A and B are shown apart, each in its own frame.
Chain A
């Protein structure tokens, strides 16, 4: 599904990603862990096409197609979804209206008709139930005055609505209490299928108890320095990131 080859990326001439190689197949869940400043959020931004970062070398290939030149919205239309660490507040635009716009713009880009209102409503209802989201919540302005947990739950609600091929969850566990974490993880697990893939970016292994990865990658100083199964996350938790740093430097 996704192939990343020797990816280098910079922001304001400072190189953050220094040669990432990663392959994610359909049906897989990959976790990317690492200390602060390792480049985790940069990697997710670059895959999604954030123009604040400059790709200086390497390729990002989704289902055989090079994403490099595509705008963020074009990547979204091809099925890339990023759950933001810090979702942005959009006053005056309700969650429902935002989702209608996003879905219909994607359909327009694919040459499809707008989704009929009844189908849209049904879908919204179904996905809101999945994430245990109250109806009233959906008519509120997007992310405005939402708690940290509400913002994250709303991100996964949007993921459920958009049904991406590749979902990247950037620090989705931060700001979530244990109940919200369970609801969010449960939602993600239900959205998981053999045809899509998920990349979970996290600092702690807590979330990985609920969303169990097939592979765990450790990112350090812009490179993947270790790859293993789900037990790697536990080992990392136990030994701390200094263990990685010292083993890399050896």
Chain B
């Protein structure tokens, strides 16, 4: 059966299996299913999916509701974590929470499960006020996620609370010999003046096909700070549709750094909605792929109020037959005067067969704004290569140093030192070099 039909016909039985959810969720699920039923999966005929075809992944026979709990030994998966102890951890295996690998808390903040928020009376208000409120209801993948999502991370940071250590959200998949569709759902609420750092990753541990359709909603209240990092270094049998929606209140600062190194097809839909004055939004990314990998960044910054800023900077390196897409839309409402919107997308093609499609999209309705955008596509600078090789640095290492230098503007705003070191190491590994220092 086609995946679409399977999802539609399985829904009633799926929903009957859920008990004790807040009432509001039923309507959200139905509405999501209806949108999905009407629209179906996007094809290349749609402008927003012009360069990214899902045909090859959707043909598989998917398991959509894995039931069996799987246990993993910490030693096996240790390398995917940031550090041994100093983080809160929310770990899921095939969509099911693993308490054994996790470290949750309710001490001053909530770092816990979406299923708790969906069921427990004390979180009913949170669901009523926030759940599905930032999501673009017309987006078909988000709609599908809304229909089926039952689990994920729920992070609630109250007013003025500074979370002392980073929060890691990791989704492992382990199915053998069957394709898996998984639909995690994260909700992050950052209260007034609160500050939190979050790292999210999706990791398959077997080479079975995986399609992850993830939705994350982030609400940043007045003067809140949220630094969110996405580390995408999955196996080349995994596909990810990542839908992130961020609503910001006045003077809040939210940054999202996306590191796309792995996976087969990765689509990042990243949406910022500014709902207050003097807001700062940062969207940065490093993409480093090869083989037949495909990464598509589709961003939106919606400037709806005056005196706000946005900074977008995406650096991408493509080798072999890999394909990259960057579509960055900046919308400036007619009342959003004094907006400062910056967008930059630089690409390096290392192979003649690699391709990149980059498209800035500016819709500006206010007359007193500063919006700049730029994109470049190039090869490695020969003069710089010669300079480094003249100093005795071999070609491969010189190339790696140059690429590292190319990504520096993104790396410099990573605020978790361990993550920075880990990303630098991943870049070096991807480039097949080991540097004599921590780049």
Contacts and interface: CB of A to CB of B under 8 A. Distances in A.
B394 A73 contact: yes
A200 to B, nearest CB: 17
A128 to B, nearest CB: 17
Contacts of A174: none
Interface stretch (A24-32, A103-111, A222-230): A103-111
B392 A109 contact: yes
A52 interface: yes
Interface stretch (A81-89, A131-139, A178-186, A204-212): A81-89
B384 A88 contact: yes
A161 to B, nearest CB: 9
A102 B439 CA distance: 14
Interface string B416-435: 00000000000000000001
A90 B392 contact: no
Contact of B390 (A76, A86, A103): A76
Given A88-B381, A92-B408, A93-B401, A76 B436 contact: no
Interface in B326-378: none
A3 interface: no
B291 interface: no
Contact of B408 (A52, A91, A103): A91
Interface in B3-38: none
B386 A101 contact: no
A106 B392 contact: yes
Contacts of B386: 45, 48, 50-52, 72
Given A50-B386, A97-B437, A91 B405 contact: yes
Contacts of A104: 436
B399 to A, nearest CB: 12
Given A88-B383, A97-B439, A72 B401 contact: no
Bin the interface of chain B by size: 20 to 34
B393 interface: yes
A44 B388 CA distance: 16
B382 A77 contact: no
Interface string A127-157: 0000000000000010000000000000000
B407 interface: yes
B195 to A, nearest CB: 26
B405 A76 contact: no
A71 B402 contact: no
Contacts of A101: 393, 397, 401, 435-437
A243 interface: no
B435 A91 contact: no
Contacts of A90: 384, 388, 401-402, 405
A162 interface: yes
Contacts of A76: 389-392
B314 to A, nearest CB: 16
A202 interface: no
A88 to B, nearest CB: 4
Contacts of B436: 100-101, 104-105, 114
A114 to B, nearest CB: 7
B431 to A, nearest CB: 14
Contact of A88 (B387, B395, B409): B387
A92 B411 contact: yes
A92 B407 contact: yes
Contacts of B402: 90
A73 B397 CA distance: 11
Contacts of A88: 381, 383-384, 387-388
B392 A87 contact: no
B130 interface: no
Nearest to B435: A101
B382 A158 contact: no
Nearest to A103: B392
B391 A98 contact: yes
A73 B395 CA distance: 8
B76 interface: no
Interface of B: 381-384, 386-395, 397-398, 401-402, 404-405, 407-409, 411-412, 435-437, 439
Interface of A: 45, 48-52, 71-73, 75-77, 80-82, 84, 86-88, 90-93, 97-98, 100-106, 109, 114, 141, 158, 162
A-B CB proximity, top 4 nearest: A92-B408, A76-B392, A72-B389, A106-B392
Given A77-B392, A88-B383, A101-B436, 11 more contacts: A49-B390, A72-B390, A87-B387, A88-B387, A90-B405, A93-B439, A98-B391, A100-B436, A102-B388, A102-B393, A114-B436
23 contacts: A52-B382, A52-B386, A72-B390, A73-B390, A73-B398, A76-B390, A76-B391, A76-B392, A81-B390, A86-B383, A88-B381, A88-B387, A90-B401, A90-B405, A92-B439, A93-B405, A101-B401, A101-B436, A104-B436, A105-B436, A114-B436, A141-B405, A141-B408
